Amino acid sequence: MIRFENVVKSFSKKVILNHLDLEIPKGKITFIVGKSGEGKSVVLKHILGLMKPDSGRVFVGGEDITELSGENLRKHRQRFGMLFQMAALFDSLNVYDNVVFPLKESGHNDEKENLRKIEEVLSMVGLPDILNKFPSELSIGEKKRVGLARALVHNPDIILYDEPTTGFDPLIAEMIDHLIVKVGRKRPDLTSVVVSHDLKATLESAEHIIMLYQGKVVLSGTSKEFRNTENKIVRQFFSGKQEGPMVFL
Amino acid sequence: MSNTILSLSSKFLKYFEDLGRFQVFVAKILKVMCTRPFRLSLVVQHAYNFGVESVFIILLTAFFTGSVFGLQIGYVFSIFRAESLTGGASALALATELAPLVTGFLITGRVGAAVTAEIATMVVSEQVEAMEAMGVDPIDYLVVPRVWASIFVMPLLCGLFMFMGIVGVYMTSLGIYAIDPGVFVAKIISLVEVSDILSGLRKMFFFSFIISFLCCYEGLSASGGAKGVGMATTQAVVKVLMLILISDLVISFIEVWWLR
């Protein structure tokens, strides 16, 4: 389980996370939603230890990661896989070298075993036989899938998705959503955290949803609870209406 | 008036903040350089890119620089009927000054700018963040192998420049001033000492740190998309060239006045 305790994070004078308390359950697909600038990606960066809170604590699997540094932080990060918005594949490396990267960096140097794992994850994301291609030769949908393969190849405990479908056409977006669910089902112990603006996919795919507003959790619960809530902020956000208590800046 | 003072003081503060950040960056590099893992394959790959692919431009520039230098200095010596000194004087200037300086400039333009642009592009396209998310330190993976490659390769390129520059001088000395080849070589041997060659190589060794540290630093500090990549590259090149010139003067001053 991932837990935030009273976390405050500011940039310049703007408070992004305002005494945030949240819990992300283990082994489920959790979607974090909220309007732009609410600190959803900041939450992911705190989980990974890429950012430190100004105050408060972040726990991952019971371990306080707030003060981790050096080798401990490196080991902490190796428990994760992360799919970035634009996949963030390394331009200078081909697909094989991109996907093998986290394996080699975590000390797996058996070439045969690495190749087997890479072929397994690439076929899972529906992209066999592209090992020698470079990112510039791939479509954006293929890049995303290679990015997902790279995030999964070292068998992480937790996988983070940073706005995986933002900016894509509905077909690619749906394909990625299906992959998120497929990956979650194939490994029931895997904790998936998805930062998303895609509300339809959130309600369809999420096993748990957290909505952030003004640096705090407005509602945390299942899709059913979100559909049936009376919370006006949540209802306004999911209906996409301008009128309501939510302030748009 | 108060606005001008405020603007100046904020610029000063930003300058010192940047300087402090650069010092921390250098300290981190030096620390990582002394710790495992040593990424030998990356060092070799960068050494190839920096070195082998720069050889042609270094040889070409060195030949023309040497030829022109020989032509000009030969003309001055011919006024005093001392053409025979052309080879020795040119070789001395090439070894101690021209070779490290021009090699430094060429490497900054060909390699340094490319390094900054490549790293800056990785930063703005989240590739560096992805690396960090996988538990890999960008200084360890992106910077240190490039620093090692620079340290190994750049003095070699400088040596190559010296040699080819002297070939250029030799061609003009023989072709235009009809200097005897034996005299040409004898004057080089009598005027240029091993310590002069080492002085040039030492300078290049120092410049290799400036080029690799600053270009990587500017690349990793980039932000804001394509414009940010362009700005980082320009800043890196300008800063490196200025710092090479300033440090060249300082090193030369120390060598000439204190060590000789």
ipTM of predicted complex: 0.85
Residue A90's H or E segment, with its range, is none
Burial of B52 (0-12, 13-18, 19+ CB in 10 A): exposed
Residue with the two structure tokens 């918005």: A85
Residue B15's pLDDT is: 84
Please work out, in degrees rounded to the nearest 5, the angle formed at the alpha carbon of residue B185 by the alpha carbons of B179 and B190.
115
Contact of A219 with A225, CB cutoff 8 Å: yes
Q: Give residue-wise pLDDT tens across range A36-82.
A: 888 898 999 999 999 999 999 999 988 899 988 888 888 899 899 99
Among chain B residues, the shortest Cα distance to A75 is held by B135
Instruction: Kindly determine whether residue A88 and residue B135, on different chains, have CB atoms separated by under 8 Å.
Output: no
Q: Give residue-wise pLDDT tens across range A137-171.
A: 998 888 988 999 999 999 899 999 998 887 777 88
Among chain A residues, the shortest Cα distance to B130 is held by A88
CB-based contact, A166 to chain B, within 8 Å? no
Q: Give residue-wise pLDDT tens across range B210-248.
A: 999 999 999 999 988 899 999 999 999 999 999 999 999
Contact of A48 with A24, CB cutoff 8 Å: no
Residue A249's pLDDT is: 60
Least Cα separation, residue B199 to chain A (angstroms): 37
Which DSSP category does B83 fall into?
Answer: G
Residue A3's pLDDT is: 94
Instruction: Kindly determine whether residue B129 and residue A88, on different chains, have CB atoms separated by under 8 Å.
Output: yes
Q: Pull the structure tokens for residue B69.
A: 């230098």
Confidence tier at A200 by pLDDT (50, 70, 90): confident
Among chain B residues, the shortest Cα distance to A153 is held by B134
CB-based contact, B122 to chain A, within 8 Å? yes
**Among the partner residues B125, B127, B129, nearest to A50 by beta-carbon distance:** B129
In chain B, domain spans = 40-259
Among chain B residues, the shortest Cα distance to A46 is held by B133
Q: Is the pLDDT of residue B1 over 80?
A: no
Q: Is the pLDDT of residue B36 over 80?
A: no
How confident is the model over B168-197, as a mean pLDDT? Answer: 91
**Among the partner residues B118, B127, B133, nearest to A82 by beta-carbon distance:** B133
Q: How far apart are CA A59 and CA A63, in angstroms?
A: 5
Confidence tier at B146 by pLDDT (50, 70, 90): very high
Contact of A47 with A243, CB cutoff 8 Å: no
**Chain A / chain B CB contacts < 8 angstroms:** 49
Query: Is the bond preceding residue B181 a cis peptide, omega within 30 degrees?
Result: no
- β-sheet with A2-11: strand ranges across: A14-24, A2-11, A55-60, A63-64
**Of A104, A198, A112, A196, which Cα lies nearest the Cα of A154?**
A104
